[in-house]
Amino acid sequence: MTSEQDWDLVKRVVEALPDGTWTSYGDLAELIGTGPRQVGAYMRDGDVSRAYRVLTAGGTVSEGFRWADGRSGRDVPDLLREDGVTVNTRGRADKTQRMSVYDLKLLAAELDDEAPDDTDDLT
């Protein structure tokens, strides 16, 4: 069962994706040990401002993608392009810019290293 801490990690990782990169529902699912559909539901309902950077494994916007806040009018491929992701005229993101689960694990480790240490220094 996926914990709230796991979903917090997903949100932190998606928000920290470097410009010019995207990831997939499956990569995020593998990162926390759940399924791509659950990740899709979280992207829809979890208040993740950069959820549009999560695509299908083929690099396209999921047919089920919806803005969590109900907004519309912004074209996801255009937003991706603004973030430095190359998207072809058919709406497919450049696969060489995909952050794999391995890349996401490295990013998560970096985020953990940057987190403030709230333990008391006993020395």
pLDDT 10s digits, 98-112: 999 999 999 999 998
Q: Residue 63: how many CB atoms within 10 A of its CB?
A: 6
24: helix, coil or strand?
Answer: strand
- 29-64 pLDDT, tens per residue? 999 999 999 999 999 888 898 999 999 999 999 988
- Cα-based angle 51, 66, 78 (whole degrees, multiple of 5): 65
Assess whether pLDDT exceeds 50 at residue 123: no
pLDDT at 82 over 80: yes
Whether 106 and 18 have beta carbons less than 8 Å apart is answered as no
Separate counts of helices (H) and strands (E) for the chain: 5, 2
pLDDT digits (tens, 9 = 90+) for 12-32: 999 999 999 999 999 999 999
Q: 32, 31, 30, 28: which is closest to 40 by C-alpha?
A: 28
